[in-house]
Structure 1
């Protein structure tokens, strides 16, 4: 029996721009940065996402999650040198749970929701380490274009532009 059709993930394909706001467990804003996410649905039930982050001080990151497969339960499996996790559709939300490999015990729980005409999305990451709640990251993004608007040169240039490493500013 084949997996049912994906309903939400295809709506997230394209380029999204927005703002991340990291808030500690006491509700204090501790960091903020701009973002540009490039998401593509690929043949053979695969997905590719690249997150570009830009801070006001000029610091930039480009994190490539790699080409990730969907399993038979329609779960998107993330497995790369930086993190391990999965994402799935639940009702009208995409849910993710992942762990950073360089921070044992650190776990993130994310919910993504499309609002308006599916060109505006709101996301929240809930951070935990062991049994400690470390705060949230609130994200608001607008869709700049669909997958057909992604410049093919973006993928060609990606290997020289990505900044994947064990740690990044956005992980803190």
Structure 2
């Protein structure tokens, strides 16, 4: 990969920098709601790396934070690493598609099985919709995550 591949010059990733707030709804494999919460997602580009922090807040007042870092691996492609234990078991490749879509593909590091596919559709400069299909090792639907977000900063 060329050293000139700068994340700030990508077509879509830079449009996602900022602070986003949204409602997250998790459905099981039968598409029945199992959980709902709000999250504030901070995304920025620092030293040609994608830096992301998710702060999830639940109805009972509990919260959790998840951190991710991404590295340019090709034109329009970023390898995302979860810095927290639950996400460190996965390989994630995010790829820009068209003018307003990023597709994330997530594989289990140990087995190589596809575990999830996520799309992030930038509807406007301050609104986006994210959907994730989670899969079992057999390729069956484990669940769906739907996120509707708006940029707050």
Taking structure 2 as the reference length, the TM-score comes to: 0.82
1:103 Cα deviation from its structure 2 partner: 9.4
**What is the aligned counterpart of 2:119 among 111, 122, 126?**
111
Residue 136 of structure 2 corresponds to: 129
Residue 166 of structure 1 corresponds to: none
Cα distance change, pair 30–88 in 1 and its aligned pair in 2 (3 A): same
Question: How far, CA to CA, are the matches of 2:62 and 2:108 in structure 1?
Answer: 21
**What is the aligned counterpart of 1:48 among 46, 51, 54?**
51
**Structure 1: runs of 5 or more not aligned:** 146-172
Equivalent residue of 2:40, what SS?
A: strand
Write out the 4+ residue segments of structure 1 that deviate beyond 3 Å after TM superposition: 1-5, 99-106
**What is the aligned counterpart of 1:12 among 10, 16, 19?**
16
1:25 Cα deviation from its structure 2 partner: 2.1
Retained in 1: the 8 A contact 2:11–2:76?
no
Query: How big is the alpha-carbon RMSD for the aligned residues of Structure 1 and Structure 2?
Result: 2.2
Equivalent residue of 1:56, what SS?
A: coil
Q: Please list the CA deviations of residues 145-167 of structure 1 after superposition, one character each: whole Å capped at 9, or x if unmatched.
A: 1xxxxxxxxxxxxxxxxxxxxxx
More strand by proportion, 1 or 2? 2
More helix by proportion, 1 or 2? 1
Cα distance change, pair 119–58 in 1 and its aligned pair in 2 (3 A): same
Equivalent residue of 1:70, what SS?
A: strand
Retained in 1: the 8 A contact 2:5–2:72?
no
**Structure 2: runs of 5 or more not aligned:** none
Cα distance change, pair 137–64 in 1 and its aligned pair in 2 (3 A): same
- Asked whether 1:94 is paired with 2:89, we answer no
Question: How far, CA to CA, are the matches of 1:104 and 1:78 in structure 2?
Answer: 16
Q: How many residues are aligned here?
A: 142
Residue 149 of structure 1 corresponds to: none
Cα distance change, pair 37–103 in 1 and its aligned pair in 2 (3 A): farther
